Structure 1
């Protein structure tokens, strides 16, 4: 039997297999949350001219008084140059007229008719946003791989881009299998349980911006599995839940082999989640997760989410641990690295409840995974521990 892989080695092997999807050009607004496939450089200069940063008066050099000869408004600039001794009323965001070298604040202005004086002198350049101070045409605004957040979306638009290039939305199929699974949670026979893993995994993946299709639940039957796998032909990634272990009715591995998939690696030294299966079929990647719901969730967190992120050009696809304080004693570990379901409150974390791999109520209460290395002694309350926050990975 092959040796179990460590978490980081298994993640590295998996991410090396991440499918590469072709790019597409979409409207900037449609690219929110997606990662850029190409650099975005400024097609224009921002601001395009010297602009007023405040409401007031654009002044020519000197100590005054000045004669007010016009007004420059945002979107309606004063077109004539100002002669020495002249001023123009100006609003925030308006172009500073040629000849003016500063802006006098409205509250510092003393005006009688068209004659203007300043309550206090101010230096040249005051309250003027100089042309190009934000960015100039040709500047790199957003590098390839950058996630388009709301502020970055605005930056791309301000840079003169109505569309950007991003990887095509990843197509992910999620399938759960097992004779015990009932498709209708309200109509379970005594020997059945509601099928919830595929819905859970799909809910974890959908916020990443991929297109998720659910298949199943599929019974433990070779013909039924073959028909279900045929539905995943067009998927970039197939995620299965259940049937990846070594029981007599765990049929995912042989079904995948008959479908033409080759195993890349199997089994990882973590608890829960040891019977993880990774296979490939052409450019398609298949991720076989365990059937116990907590095991399925934990392996989706550490493997499915990073795989999807990597395939969508996220340069930092893996979740990161942070240090916190154990709020209670934690048990020792054995030969596998354990991820305990925990609840974070302030700077402390404690167990969420039962650590059984079937305990959905404890998983639902958890907002963190407590990382306990293999062969660790019991941790005492007050000791530092590593924690992965559960914010969809």
Structure 2
């Protein structure tokens, strides 16, 4: 099977993806979830004309004459409005958030109010009509569209939903992602390692990427290089109703790379195998019934890069959200040689300078080296057949974190 370009591979991974069914959740569980329907205001905010400052509710016309005394006839606080109405030459002591009394059309802030006696004040300077009053509905009205369907909920969105009267939210179900590491050489972190053993580390990074996008993780552990063992764990993924099965390792063409064949034996319909990218060429994508399958390479950096490019958007799309990678422009901090037919994702550190962003690649880019990946905050993207580039040349970067 020929190498498939990265963009075409992503299109195939996302082809035919429909958002998962909706479920209703309490507001306090909404962080990171994706709205399954538009959210409209159930109330008006503010629900009344409210004071924006501490001071006195007055008639603006009464403050034009700085010598005029105003009688203080009562008080209004947040949650406790002044029960009557206010006439000419009168004022009501008012606090931030309190309803503005009937008859008042401005708030004289307390710094500009001179005390004449216990129940009398005078305006030190005139106040404009409507000054320091938050008009009813200034933020939103009942029925207004506040959040679009497909919006991923963040602290601001959740606060808005609460303010508009929603105690529960309709969101898409979280995708269930089953993660399976493969290889006889693997042991779990903390276990005694043999002379030829390797700690299974990829699972943790891949699970973290999926969880960051909102997925629930099913840890299938480690499968040995054995068709029967692989098949039993594929079946377990189906039995646990996984939406996505992610396998790690065994996707290449070596004698012990059994995953692709085992997936085919288990009924996977292959979409593609091998992507024109570096790192991450031996990538499997397919379907096993309703379950999507991504077979990621075993090298740690390769699997992490592939998860950023393919697993992250897949999890987002299953929730009805659009994944928008953080792509930016920068200047190269070091020269790069000409590229071949594969698209490169080069680990680098980007820094902000007075001249702009400068992305400096690590000298060594071996796909087994995690130290550089953990230090990197971006990937420099090099198109296939890109010519040699010099320090200072423009480049495109994918931000991993800020």
When the two chains are superposed, the root-mean-square deviation of aligned CA atoms in Å is 1.5
Distance 2:223 2:231 in 1: 10
> Shift of the alpha carbon at 1:61?
4.9
Q: In the comparison of the two structures, how many residue pairs are matched?
A: 390
1:88 aligns with 2:92: yes
Q: Is the 1:353–1:362 contact (alpha carbons within 8 Å) kept by the matching residues of 2?
A: no
Q: Is the 1:352–1:363 contact (alpha carbons within 8 Å) kept by the matching residues of 2?
A: no
Query: 2:2 is matched with which residue?
Result: 3
Query: 2:326 is matched with which residue?
Result: 320
Distance 1:115 1:308 in 2: 65
> Shift of the alpha carbon at 1:351?
1.8
Query: 1:58 is matched with which residue?
Result: 57
Distance 1:321 1:132 in 2: 38
1:149 aligns with 2:154: yes
Q: Is the 2:38–2:145 contact (alpha carbons within 8 Å) kept by the matching residues of 1?
A: yes
Distance 2:374 2:160 in 1: 38
SS at 2:61's partner residue? coil
Query: 1:16 is matched with which residue?
Result: 15
Distance 1:16 1:75 in 2: 53
Q: Is the 2:182–2:249 contact (alpha carbons within 8 Å) kept by the matching residues of 1?
A: yes
Distance 1:296 1:391 in 2: 17
Per-residue deviation, residues 322-363 of structure 1 (Å, max 9, x unmatched): 111111111221111111111112221112242111112222
Q: Is the 2:70–2:121 contact (alpha carbons within 8 Å) kept by the matching residues of 1?
A: yes
Query: 1:46 is matched with which residue?
Result: 45
1:76 aligns with 2:80: yes
Q: Is the 1:61–1:84 contact (alpha carbons within 8 Å) kept by the matching residues of 2?
A: no
Q: Is the 1:69–1:87 contact (alpha carbons within 8 Å) kept by the matching residues of 2?
A: yes
Distance 1:228 1:19 in 2: 26
Where structure 2 has 5 or more consecutive residues not aligned to the other structure, the ranges are 63-67
Which of 258, 263, 271 is residue 256 of structure 1 equivalent to?
263
TM, length-normalised to structure 1: 0.96
Distance 1:345 1:61, change over 3 A: closer
1:246 aligns with 2:246: no
SS at 1:62's partner residue? helix
Query: 1:389 is matched with which residue?
Result: 399
SS at 1:231's partner residue? helix
SS at 2:73's partner residue? strand
1:31 aligns with 2:13: no
> Shift of the alpha carbon at 1:181?
1.3
Mapping of residues 150-169 of structure 1, within 5 Å:
150-169=155-174
Q: Is the 1:290–1:296 contact (alpha carbons within 8 Å) kept by the matching residues of 2?
A: yes
Per-residue deviation, residues 258-298 of structure 1 (Å, max 9, x unmatched): 22221112211111111111111222101111111111111
Distance 1:241 1:368, change over 3 A: same
SS at 1:232's partner residue? helix
Which of 91, 104, 108 is residue 100 of structure 1 equivalent to?
104
TM, length-normalised to structure 2: 0.94
Deviates more, 1:158-167 or 1:356-365: 356-365
> Shift of the alpha carbon at 1:318?
4.1
Distance 1:125 1:318, change over 3 A: closer
Distance 2:290 2:19 in 1: 8
Mapping of residues 91-240 of structure 1, within 5 Å:
91-113=95-117, 114-233=119-238, 234-240=241-247
Distance 1:302 1:149, change over 3 A: same
Distance 2:75 2:216 in 1: 53
Query: 2:65 is matched with which residue?
Result: none
Deviates more, 1:83-92 or 1:150-159: 83-92
> Shift of the alpha carbon at 1:192?
1.6
> Shift of the alpha carbon at 1:155?
0.3
Which of 348, 356, 359 is residue 358 of structure 2 equivalent to?
348
Query: 1:278 is matched with which residue?
Result: 285
Per-residue deviation, residues 205-264 of structure 1 (Å, max 9, x unmatched): 222221112212111100110111122111011111111122222211221122222111
